[in-house]
Structure 1
Amino acid sequence: MLFIFIAKKILGMNEEEALKLRGHYKVFANGFLSFPINLPGTAFHSSLQGRKSAIKMIKDVFKKRRSSKEKANEQDFIDYLLQEIENEETFITEEIAVDLIFIVIFAAHENTSSTMTRLFKYLTEYPDVLRQLKEEHENILRNREDKYAPISWIEYKSTIFTHKVTNETLRLANIASGKFRKVLKDVEINGYTIPKGWTMVVCAQSIHLDANKYENPLEFNPSRWKDEELHSVSKTFVAFGGGNRMCVGANLSKMQISIFLHYLMTSYRWKVSNKGNITRQPNLNFDDGIRIQVLEIQRENNKEIITQVEGV
């Protein structure tokens, strides 16, 4: 669902095209953190092939958009990039633009979708958290004049408990298994020297699951977060990295999750029929998915009418 949305906003793709592109991204993601042995049959080779196929589809969109004489009714990201490429003072070439689109699509959906999936497990296992979430978002509807209006920026900023749930999910899920950094000078840590020029990996789990930093670290407890901590950079919360290399999509990811939760809480109910098995390859993966029965809510005369969503 999230990939289809991102592919439409960035490349103007329809659902069929987006799902085809998604297949190439899945192949890429399954092997992009693997031993760099570029031989047929290896995960790394498959990952490169997946990237190659995705890049070809993106280039085809560029080619089609350049040759099209008709202007789209609604501009998407690729339209802005094409305008920038034609600017004589820009440093952006088509090759740079294609690479940019490839990584933006990956960053905008991969970790966020895994976080949303993991969140379903937590909401099923912690009913009190689910109750508080529902209450927060139902209050938004009660305070609106138009019950069917889209969520506003002010309403999004007011969902304090939702932000706490998001942070706690990111802390426990540790979607990104490691952050790579190049050592710029010799660094001594606990008697060990990390030489200049080495590449090191910062392991989020060692920080997020440290009992010295979080009380009962394996417990899903959104209330542990204080309001002032929700949007601050912290050495004990590195879900989006830190320092000058902080993830530029951090706020976008949080907003996507919050908006998803708003409509889930106010328009739907669900039952988890299969909680699924979680593995790491090395990123978070759900081998057989999490199977969910989705029920839609319709409100008439202050009453809720619940119906089964077909095919879900």
Structure 2
Amino acid sequence: MWILMGLCIVAVLVIYVFHWIIILTDPKFRNRSSLPPGSMGFPFIGETLQFMIPSYSLDIHPFITKRIQRFGSIFRTSLFGQPIVISTDSEFNSYLMQQEGKLVELWAGPATKIFRQSDGFRIPFSNIHKYIRSITLNHIGAECIREKLISQFEEMFIKTLHQWSTQTSIDVKQSITKMNFRFFAKHYFGYDIENLSSNFERISEELFTDFTERLKTIPLNIPGTNYHKCLKEWRKAFKIIKNILEERRNSPEKYRGDFLDQAINDMEKDKIMNDDQIVYLVLGIWFANSASISSMAQLIFKFLSEYPSVVEELRVMNETLRFSILLPGILRKTLKDIHFKEYIIPANWIILAFTPNLHMNSEIYEDPLTFNPWRWKELDSFTVSKNFKPFGGGLTQCPGAELSRAFIATFLHVLVTKYRWTKIKGGKVVRNPILEFSDRIHIKIWENREKT
């Protein structure tokens, strides 16, 4: 036993020594005085463990607030094996958004590796986002929402909420995810739920429900780790969608003019992406819709249960979005050294433009930890545009922003005009650092016959 312990200690020391040899010989660390202040933490894992410690509050995660107090609004750290600069400086963050494609490019964190499981994108990842935004807006943009999706949403919600009212209780996250899954399976690649195998529904629902949780881990593709399980589930869903794509291409008579058809046509015309990348695109956008909408829905039920007077006015949307940021900020990778004030951020570093601090700024939002939908009556449009960014910013603002708003707004309309509900259990929030629920919300819902 003592020999084994000794070997472990030696191994740790060797790793530690080599870690610092790499750091000290890396040119971007030679002039450390020009880097933003901060700590790189332990070898390899950096400060990841501190970053992931749960905080049971709606407020900004203590990892961020403690380092702001110690180092200022821009500081460096190391997360998930990656050197990173975190900025809560609004001037610097606005500057970054203006430098898209010049000094910085989009970076998707550990998810980038999942979306690059094929032979690699044929164009840079920052440029692929421009195509993703374009094709997405064609199918879930404002025009499509207004002309087609609003009426389809309302029809779906009427049917779904009636089904919910026949159950003893429902798990909000699971039920919203299932509803979202079924609708967009049809919208994105033309499959009615009756045509989907139960195996596909099970895999995809489990994937969408647990994916975010499993992705928030150190990206080690080793059997038994959450990241490995995440990749495994993703590949199962990938295989099924790939079969659908091949079937569509081999059967032109099945053309529907949907998202998948446009992606196939664009691939054959412009050679933008290959088959694998189209599948990852469909899954990625599909998942992003599900994750954001289920997060918002849970918060809405939490707040409406705690503030029933709001139901009468329903000034809920912006106030819920102020809390329900799915990601802790906007991630960018530096293409060149960035000079800002007295700091130099080296090329190939990651920058997290931290946005939740905007939404918790007491100078803008009085008593920011209080749910107060009426506050939006007093805020002018200029203040809101500068300090309210629930869907990111710059050229890469989430193209599904309007879809999420329309989905939730229509859902709320049907819910409050035709139904009543009560919270059965759940609703305790946790930041680690994304705002989530440590116990899912369950509600009992029934028809409001007085209003119908």
Do the structures match in fold with TM over 0.5?
A: yes
Q: State the TM-score, normalized to the length of structure 2.
A: 0.53
Amino acid at match of 1:218: L
Counterpart Cα distance in 1 of 2:205 and 2:219: 23
| Equivalent in the alignment of 2:287 | 106
After superposition, where does 1:225-240 map in structure 2 within 5 Å? 225-226=376-377, 234-240=385-391
Counterpart Cα distance in 2 of 1:278 and 1:107: 21
| Equivalent in the alignment of 1:37 | 220
Distance 1:280 1:43, change over 3 A: farther
| TM-superposed deviation, 1:211 | 1.4
| Equivalent in the alignment of 1:23 | 206
CA contact under 8 A between 1:28 and 1:48: conserved in structure 2? Answer: no
| TM-superposed deviation, 1:228 | 8.2
Amino acid at match of 1:81: A
Counterpart Cα distance in 2 of 1:200 and 1:288: 32
Counterpart Cα distance in 2 of 1:230 and 1:121: 27
Matching of residue 209 in structure 1 with residue 390 in structure 2: no
- Structure ranking higher in helix proportion: 2
Distance 1:272 1:56, change over 3 A: same
Matching of residue 4 in structure 1 with residue 182 in structure 2: yes
Amino acid at match of 1:103: G
Counterpart Cα distance in 1 of 2:299 and 2:346: 37
The answer for unaligned runs of 5 or more in structure 1 is: 134-160, 306-312
| Equivalent in the alignment of 1:179 | 330
Amino acid at match of 1:45: H
| Equivalent in the alignment of 2:372 | 221
Distance 1:172 1:23, change over 3 A: same
After superposition, where does 1:1-312 map in structure 2 within 5 Å? 1-11=179-189, 12-14=191-193, 16=198, 17-68=200-251, 71=254, 76-86=258-268, 88-133=269-314, 161=315, 165-183=316-334, 184-188=336-340, 192-226=343-377, 234-298=385-449, 303-304=450-451
| Equivalent in the alignment of 1:143 | none
CA contact under 8 A between 1:25 and 1:51: conserved in structure 2? Answer: no
Distance 1:40 1:90, change over 3 A: closer
Counterpart Cα distance in 1 of 2:244 and 2:392: 32
Q: Secondary structure at the match of 1:285?
A: strand
| TM-superposed deviation, 1:31 | 2.4
Q: Secondary structure at the match of 1:38?
A: coil
Counterpart Cα distance in 2 of 1:231 and 1:96: 39
| TM-superposed deviation, 1:60 | 1.8
Seq. identity, %? 35
| TM-superposed deviation, 1:119 | 0.7
Aligned residues: 268
Amino acid at match of 1:39: I
Residue range with higher mean Cα deviation, 105-114 or 286-295: 286-295
Question: CA-to-partner distance for each residue in 1:129-151, whole Å, 9 max, x for gaps?
Answer: 11112xxxxxxxxxxxxxxxxxx
Distance 1:230 1:80, change over 3 A: farther
Residue range with higher mean Cα deviation, 289-298 or 20-29: 20-29
Q: Secondary structure at the match of 1:223?
A: helix
| TM-superposed deviation, 1:109 | 1.4
Aligned-residue CA RMSD (Å): 2.8
CA contact under 8 A between 1:278 and 1:284: conserved in structure 2? Answer: yes
Counterpart Cα distance in 2 of 1:229 and 1:95: 46
Distance 1:182 1:71, change over 3 A: closer
> Over alpha carbons, which structure has the higher Rg?
2
Amino acid at match of 1:104: I
Q: Secondary structure at the match of 1:225?
A: helix
Q: Secondary structure at the match of 2:387?
A: coil
Amino acid at match of 2:386: K
| Equivalent in the alignment of 2:100 | none
| TM-superposed deviation, 1:173 | 2.6
Distance 1:231 1:59, change over 3 A: farther
Question: CA-to-partner distance for each residue in 1:75-100, whole Å, 9 max, x for gaps?
Answer: 542233334444x3453432332121
Q: Secondary structure at the match of 2:352?
A: strand
| Equivalent in the alignment of 1:309 | none
Q: State the TM-score, normalized to the length of structure 1.
A: 0.75
CA contact under 8 A between 2:267 and 2:274: conserved in structure 1? Answer: yes
| TM-superposed deviation, 1:27 | 4.3
Amino acid at match of 1:33: K
| TM-superposed deviation, 1:70 | 5.5
